[in-house]
Amino acid sequence: MPESGTPAQTLSPLLHDGVLPGAWGVTGLANGKVTELAPEVSAFAQIGTRVYVGGNFQYVQRGQNATGADRVLQSYLAAFDTAQASAGRARAPRPTAGPGAVETA
Protein backbone atom coordinates (compact mmCIF):
# COMPACT_ATOMS: atom_id res chain seq x y z
CA MET A 1 0.00 0.00 0.00
CA PRO A 2 1.48 3.39 -0.92
CA GLU A 3 2.06 6.00 1.78
CA SER A 4 -0.65 8.16 0.26
CA GLY A 5 -3.23 5.46 1.01
CA THR A 6 -5.68 3.86 -1.35
CA PRO A 7 -8.20 5.59 -3.60
CA ALA A 8 -11.53 6.59 -2.06
CA GLN A 9 -14.41 4.17 -2.52
CA THR A 10 -18.14 4.80 -2.51
CA LEU A 11 -19.75 2.31 -0.14
CA SER A 12 -23.37 1.18 -0.08
CA PRO A 13 -25.27 2.13 3.09
CA LEU A 14 -25.84 -0.62 5.63
CA LEU A 15 -29.21 -1.60 7.02
CA HIS A 16 -30.25 0.04 10.27
CA ASP A 17 -29.52 -2.50 12.99
CA GLY A 18 -31.30 -0.86 15.91
CA VAL A 19 -34.86 -1.03 17.16
CA LEU A 20 -37.07 1.80 16.00
CA PRO A 21 -38.81 3.52 18.89
CA GLY A 22 -42.54 3.08 19.31
CA ALA A 23 -45.16 4.17 21.81
CA TRP A 24 -46.55 0.66 22.45
CA GLY A 25 -44.79 -2.48 23.64
CA VAL A 26 -45.22 -5.69 25.60
CA THR A 27 -44.22 -6.53 29.15
CA GLY A 28 -44.63 -9.07 31.93
CA LEU A 29 -44.34 -12.84 31.89
CA ALA A 30 -47.67 -14.51 31.11
CA ASN A 31 -46.75 -17.90 32.53
CA GLY A 32 -44.85 -16.44 35.49
CA LYS A 33 -41.68 -18.37 34.64
CA VAL A 34 -38.34 -16.81 33.85
CA THR A 35 -36.52 -19.19 31.50
CA GLU A 36 -34.49 -18.90 28.33
CA LEU A 37 -37.12 -21.07 26.60
CA ALA A 38 -39.96 -18.63 27.33
CA PRO A 39 -38.78 -15.08 26.57
CA GLU A 40 -41.19 -12.16 26.56
CA VAL A 41 -40.95 -11.96 22.76
CA SER A 42 -40.02 -14.97 20.64
CA ALA A 43 -41.59 -14.32 17.23
CA PHE A 44 -42.40 -11.49 14.81
CA ALA A 45 -44.28 -11.32 11.51
CA GLN A 46 -45.29 -8.36 9.38
CA ILE A 47 -48.12 -7.85 6.89
CA GLY A 48 -48.11 -4.36 5.40
CA THR A 49 -47.87 -1.89 8.26
CA ARG A 50 -49.09 -4.33 10.90
CA VAL A 51 -46.49 -6.19 13.00
CA TYR A 52 -47.57 -9.29 14.92
CA VAL A 53 -45.66 -10.21 18.06
CA GLY A 54 -45.76 -13.58 19.80
CA GLY A 55 -44.18 -14.66 23.05
CA ASN A 56 -44.59 -15.07 26.79
CA PHE A 57 -45.72 -11.51 27.56
CA GLN A 58 -48.71 -10.60 29.70
CA TYR A 59 -49.52 -6.99 28.83
CA VAL A 60 -49.57 -4.61 25.87
CA GLN A 61 -48.92 -1.11 27.10
CA ARG A 62 -48.16 2.43 25.98
CA GLY A 63 -45.07 3.80 27.69
CA GLN A 64 -42.85 2.28 30.35
CA ASN A 65 -45.05 3.05 33.38
CA ALA A 66 -48.50 2.67 31.80
CA THR A 67 -51.70 2.29 33.82
CA GLY A 68 -55.44 2.28 33.11
CA ALA A 69 -56.41 2.23 29.42
CA ASP A 70 -52.73 2.38 28.41
CA ARG A 71 -52.05 -1.07 29.94
CA VAL A 72 -54.13 -3.95 28.56
CA LEU A 73 -54.09 -7.62 29.51
CA GLN A 74 -53.25 -9.23 26.15
CA SER A 75 -51.12 -12.31 26.64
CA TYR A 76 -49.03 -14.23 24.10
CA LEU A 77 -50.09 -12.52 20.83
CA ALA A 78 -50.48 -8.84 19.87
CA ALA A 79 -50.52 -6.67 16.77
CA PHE A 80 -49.11 -3.19 16.27
CA ASP A 81 -49.91 -0.83 13.41
CA THR A 82 -46.66 0.94 12.58
CA ALA A 83 -48.37 3.54 10.38
CA GLN A 84 -50.69 4.70 13.16
CA ALA A 85 -48.37 4.05 16.13
CA SER A 86 -51.11 2.07 17.81
CA ALA A 87 -51.55 -1.38 19.27
CA GLY A 88 -54.17 -3.54 17.60
CA ARG A 89 -56.36 -5.23 20.17
CA ALA A 90 -59.69 -5.54 18.38
CA ARG A 91 -60.75 -9.16 17.82
CA ALA A 92 -57.40 -10.33 19.16
CA PRO A 93 -57.22 -14.07 19.83
CA ARG A 94 -56.58 -15.25 23.37
CA PRO A 95 -54.07 -18.11 23.12
CA THR A 96 -53.29 -20.05 26.28
CA ALA A 97 -49.58 -20.37 25.58
CA GLY A 98 -46.91 -18.48 23.69
CA PRO A 99 -46.46 -19.31 20.01
CA GLY A 100 -43.23 -20.86 18.79
CA ALA A 101 -43.57 -18.91 15.55
CA VAL A 102 -45.78 -16.33 13.87
CA GLU A 103 -46.32 -16.84 10.14
CA THR A 104 -47.94 -14.72 7.48
CA ALA A 105 -49.94 -16.02 4.56
Which residue segment(s) compose the domain that 43 sits in? 27-88
pLDDT per residue as tens, the chain (105 positions)? 788 888 888 887 766 656 666 788 899 999 888 788 888 888 888 888 888 888 899 999 988 889 998 999 988 888 888 777 666 554 455 666 666 666 666
Judge whether 44 lies within some domain.
yes
Q: Report the domain count for the chain.
A: 1
Residue 9: its pLDDT value, please?
86
Judge whether 102 lies within some domain.
no
Judge whether 101 lies within some domain.
no
How far apart, in whole angstroms, are the C-alpha atoms of residue 68 and residue 63?
12
Residue 20: its pLDDT value, please?
63
Judge whether 34 lies within some domain.
yes
Residue 91: its pLDDT value, please?
45
Judge whether 64 lies within some domain.
yes
Judge whether 73 lies within some domain.
yes
pTM score, whole prediction: 0.67
Judge whether 14 lies within some domain.
no
